[in-house]
Amino acid sequence: MGINMKPIYLDETKTDEERVNDLVARMTLEEKVSQLRYDAPAIKRLGIPNYNWWNEALHGVARAGAATVFPQSIGLAAMFDEVLLQKIGDIVATEGRAKYHEAVANGDRGLYKGITFWSPNINIFRDPRWGRGHETYGEDPCLTGRMGRAYVKGLQGSGRRLKAAACVKHFAAHSGPEKGRHSFDSIVSKKDLAETYLPAFEACVKDAKVEGVMGGYNRLNGEACCGSYYMITELLREKWGFDGYYVSDCGAIKDFHMHHGLTSTPAESAALALKSGCDLNCGVVYLHLQNAYNQGLVTMEDIDKAVYHVMMTRMRLGMFDEHTEYDNIPYEANDCREHHKAAEKAAEKSMVLLKNNGILPLKKEEIKTAAVIGPNTDSEEILKGNYNGTATEKYTLLEGIREAFGENTRIFYSEGAHLYRDNVENLAETDDRIKEAVSMARRSDIVFLCLGLNGTLEGEEGDANNSYAGADKADLNLPESQMRLLKAVCETNKPVVLLLSAGSAMAISYAEEYCDAILQVWYPGQMGGKAAANLLLGKSSPSGRLPVTFYRTTKELPEFTDYSMKNRTYRYMEQEALYPFGYGLSYGDFSYGKLAVEQVVPGTEGYIKISAAVQNVSEEECDEVTQVYIKITDSLLAVPNYSLADFKRIHLKPGETKKLEFLLPADVFMVVDEDGERIFDGEKAIIYAGGSQPDKRSIELTGKIPLSVEAELGRLRGVKTCRK
């Protein structure tokens, strides 16, 4: 090599594979092992700076100071809007790059400063008691896969280099309980894995080419999720074609010997994880890798493979290039007004109108006095969710309502009750807050009652500080302090609009009966108060849909620790929901017609093309979310209820009609057998299209019957049906 020639790993005329192989070959054993830690040190002789892999971007760049805070993920899922979510992902990557450039310029390469984002969380929200459920995109594998794929594509971009590296988590069946998660063994059938828990991961790997996958703390059927050769190497890499890096959840590898009882020493744990395919350790156990090598527990080939994967990700991010297409993103692109407007639009689209007796939208000129009551009224905490950044512009519900109504409306404010504490020893003291709220309600034209939870009551083990079990919910009820307030205010017989802040389904049967309207606002991000006010006053029409089922009580649910899908989520539940998955009201009315099967392309790679006409029959310009469900009617292996197969959000002017077309791939008409294999089984399927799912409760609440058409599955296969 000539004196002035670049080493191959810095030569941008070479392929990434050639460059990474050259780089790995130049490293010593000690250097290689050092790069498998999340806080990888510099290798000065090779010109490699230190890099901290750990960064978060669940709904905006998190934990690194000022950044735009979008609605929490469960709210983003309620948008049913892939286009907007991909745009949000792009905005987050822009802000991440802007902050990264500034940090590097200042010599800051510490925690939460990188562009490897350990997001999104695409676990299935199988049980509403799970504290971390609001980090997910809900209970349905189709919706979760589609929204996860959109966010990954937005984060990673479509350029020559990755704009940022997304990482889906937590592979694979991980959804509580939080207490004991370091030793928990998720027992899941092959059918449930393939039918519910794995499809979103597969979609993000195959369709979105996600760069990272994070393993969970738990065991899955006895094997550690960060130490399963089958799950990581055989399924993820060999079957699905994943070619990025696999990272442990933070501290998960030490659980092998400390809690799971799978190994006896840190060296053995490090060896089990590495040989299974876990490339990067968030934790300290990989400090023992060289010891494991000296003991013969791992080979140089094992180490090289992992180093190749992590260095390939850094190569794809452009860290060894002189320039990338993202170098000119200025710091001013972070936390800018344009991004705040996008957060406001997302919050509007995420909120779900659960009940409206006609009181909404309000005419503000008719409201002379309004009472805004409840512990979440002026709460900044409800705007955040968790894994959040720091908002520099923010609107609580009180601030949004006060600004929207203006000076001509007198706004009364009372906290009314503590978020969850109830002074049972001195009810008179507790009633004192309630009496103030009642006094305000009685002298108001309308009451906005702001109740629910926040991220300190439902969240991750160690983060939430509550009386519940390790950040999970003990039940689905509002805290007793809030129930007392709710009943007292409703008993004034004043019009009451409930603004419900929560990241999960709540049992709100009392509110359903006695409140005039209910708006589910989730954890709506920094612009949440402004977005809620826009909806209340009709500046925009509610259009969110529930990404989870709202149950009536926990009595309908199996044990929290039971990972079987039987009687869980809308696809398997046997009882009637309080509010069904996919449900949400609008100020507009829509008419569906002409649902038809237009084309059938046979084969496992084929599809069924359907079309439906949707008309806005109201005077409101608004969005509709058209949902397509399928039900295979004559297979014992089929999901017992309905399954979401496709959806589209459309905007319609008054009187406007649009013809929508959907291409339903063959696999949505297949069933999963007990071995976890997708097969054709059954003669017929019913395809539904409408603004909600076709169950009885959805129809009762909306007054609309989704259209249906029957499909012959034999035509899809192109052969005579042969049922088992």
Say if residues 583 and 546 touch (Cβ distance below 8 Å).
yes
CB atoms within 10 A of CB 606: 19
Helix (H) or strand (E) holding 671: strand 671-672
* Tokens at 545, concatenated: 């849909």
* 646 in active site: no
* Tokens at 548, concatenated: 């989870």
Angle among Cα 107, 312, 174 to the nearest 5 degrees reads: 95
Instruction: Return the amino acid letter for 417.
Output: A
* Tokens at 64, concatenated: 């690194």
Q: Which residue has the tokens 């297949």?
A: 670
Picking from 233, 281, 293, 290, the residue whose alpha carbon sits closest to that of residue 256 is: 281
Q: Which residue has the tokens 């209820």?
A: 641
Instruction: Return the amino acid letter for 603.
Output: G
- Set 458, 461, 516, 623: catalytic member: 458
Q: What is the DSSP string of 299-319?
A: -HHHHHHHHHHHHHHHHHTTT
Picking from 370, 373, 371, 480, the residue whose alpha carbon sits closest to that of residue 416 is: 373
C-alpha to C-alpha distances, 65 to 53, 60, 112, 390, nearest whole angstrom: 17, 11, 10, 5
* Tokens at 191, concatenated: 């059918």
Burial class (CB in 10 A: 0-12, 13-18, 19+), 649: middle
C-alpha to C-alpha distances, 526 to 339, 342, 372, nearest whole angstrom: 11, 11, 19
- Set 249, 348, 472, 646: catalytic member: 249
d(CA 483, CA 494): 17
Picking from 166, 254, 262, 179, the residue whose alpha carbon sits closest to that of residue 214 is: 166
CB atoms within 10 A of CB 703: 7
* 249 in active site: yes
Helix (H) or strand (E) holding 481: helix 480-490
Helix (H) or strand (E) holding 33: helix 29-34
Which alpha helices (H) appear in 195-249, and where do they start and end? 199-206, 229
Burial class (CB in 10 A: 0-12, 13-18, 19+), 240: middle
C-alpha to C-alpha distances, 420 to 60, 376, 383, nearest whole angstrom: 28, 11, 18
Angle among Cα 691, 139, 162 to the nearest 5 degrees reads: 95
CB atoms within 10 A of CB 193: 22
Helix (H) or strand (E) holding 85: helix 82-105
Which alpha helices (H) appear in 228-299, and where do they start and end? 229, 255, 266-276, 289-294
Say if residues 492 and 515 touch (Cβ distance below 8 Å).
no
Instruction: Give the catalytic positions in this structure.
Output: 249, 458
